[in-house]
Chains A and B, each alone.
Chain A
Amino acid sequence: MAEIKKITTPLTPEIVGSLKAGDMVAITGVIYTGRDAAHKKLVETVKEGKPLPIEIEGQTIYYVGPCPAQPGQAIGSCGPTTSGRMDAYAPILMDLGQKGMIGKGPRSKSVVESMVKNKAVYFAAIGGAGAAIARSVKKADVVAYPELGPEAIYRLEVEEFPCIVVIDSAGNDLYELGPAQYKA
């Protein structure tokens, strides 16, 4: 197993440029949650020419809708959701400066092209390992769209959040490279 690269957010072009598909990383800093309904609202806001509820420049959005926190917990189970459902929205946010995405599953060609153009990176967290992932979330606050319940945008403070770089800013895609090695 490769060495784990420790990185911090917000992501700079230098950090993004240093990450290659297949790298294991541990992310420390602030990330924002957002999934289907929040992305729809964010993109509608952009199209209306209004300001976004979060500063998007250099930020990382984690595609997740967490479980409620139990007493004493920062957050409930919080593993990634399927990223492909955000493909229609992601390029618009990357054009505005978003640098990182965390989710699971392959992305469309237009997302990968936007990543190369905007120098962004896509990380996979392990789907279905939400209880373990919650351990690396130290603080969670709803910062936008509370009416969406689990789909609200949360600001998360994370420590050594474990991920794998699956698509890097050069467009190398582990979802294509990995399975090709094992296809019988």
Chain B
Amino acid sequence: MREIKTDRIIDTVEKLCIDANYNLGEDVEKLIREGMATEESVFGKYIFEQILDNVKLARNEKIAMCQDTGLAVVYIEVGQEVHITGGSLEEAINEGVRRGYKNGYLRKSAVDDPLFKRVNTTDNTPAIIYTDIVPGDKIKIMVVPKGGGAENMGGIKLLKPSDGVQGVIDFVVKTVTEAGGNPCPPVVVGVGIGGTMDKATVIAKKALARKAGQPNENPDYARLEKEILEKINKSGVGPQGLGGRVTALAVHIEYFPTHIATMPVAVNLNCHASRHAEATI
């Protein structure tokens, strides 16, 4: 057994919250640059310039690139040879989020009771935590700050198996197109196909954390990603919904085996500030 103290988990989560919000990944920035080269609309080109200027400014001056620093979605893979000491794993993650959002001057966007009171928890906790137990003696932590504007524009549809590939394409394209300027396009589109209703949404969100633009390893799904991306970019929605050729930067599909009777499809969107940071300890 390898011992890992919760202090180390707290420190790592704190750093990742700050890093993800200040420093846009090179993978996403590369897609933004390619998008700018493709865009024909005058406003679209202007918006791309502003986005890149903003990315540079946030990185150089160490400030959040977007004020919506999100709910902290934390994926943690715990090696089964690891013994965590010094307290609860969940509390350690939340303490890391608390410190990261305070010390990084990030916005606290969590409200407790979602319906009646909606009072800000003032420290951006609780995090949304997904824990997996995996082989090995390490802990991998990934922080994906998730903004509300893009999150609101996702969707799930419980398709029939007979709806087939066309059913998936139609639903994803419709969801992104109807979102218009709301999710801050150009967006990254996470799609989850299969599993159960809940599983499809979980893998759709996790798809957003994949290296931006990297195709699915399965060639059928990689082709589908490309086809959906092309269709979305023919919608005309464009950067910020003001019209143009680039509505999405990438489509990432994840899939999972499902029941003989079902074919759930979930769409989870990220804005152009598609943030994710990870570390292994």
Contacts and interface: CB of A to CB of B under 8 A. Distances in A.
A151 interface: yes
Contacts, number: 168
A178 B51 contact: no
29 contacts: A1-B42, A1-B46, A65-B67, A65-B107, A66-B67, A67-B107, A70-B105, A76-B64, A79-B66, A104-B181, A126-B47, A126-B51, A127-B181, A128-B66, A129-B50, A129-B66, A131-B58, A149-B122, A150-B107, A150-B109, A175-B181, A175-B241, A177-B243, A178-B242, A179-B237, A181-B243, A182-B41, A182-B243, A183-B234
B53 A132 contact: yes
A135 B63 CA distance: 12
Given A77-B63, A182-B41, A183-B234, A132 B50 contact: yes
B180 A175 contact: yes
Interface string A1-15: 100000000000000
A174 interface: yes
B54 A128 contact: yes
Nearest to A135: B57
Interface residues of B, number: 49
B53 to A, nearest CB: 5
Interface string B81-123: 0000000000000000000000001111100000000101010
Contact of B241 (A68, A105, A150): A105
B164 to A, nearest CB: 24
B276 to A, nearest CB: 15
Interface string A161-173: 0101010000000
B3 interface: no
Contact of B238 (A64, A81, A150, A178): A178
Contacts of A73: 63
A175 B106 CA distance: 30
B43 A64 contact: no
Contacts of A82: 148-149, 152, 182
Given A84-B182, A126-B47, 14 more contacts: A67-B107, A68-B107, A73-B63, A82-B149, A126-B50, A134-B63, A150-B109, A162-B50, A175-B180, A175-B241, A178-B236, A178-B241, A182-B41, A183-B235
Contact of A68 (B43, B105, B243, B272): B105
Interface residues of A, number: 48
Contacts of B57: 131-132, 135
A100 interface: no
Contacts of B243: 174, 177-182
Contacts of B41: 178, 181-182
A2 to B, nearest CB: 8
Given A149-B108, A182-B245, A132 B236 contact: no
Given A65-B109, A81-B149, A131-B63, A106 B180 contact: yes
A37 interface: yes
A125 B135 CA distance: 47
Nearest to A83: B182
User: A-B pairs with the 10 shortest C-beta distances?
Assistant: A178-B243, A183-B236, A184-B234, A182-B236, A127-B184, A179-B236, A129-B54, A105-B182, A132-B54, A77-B64
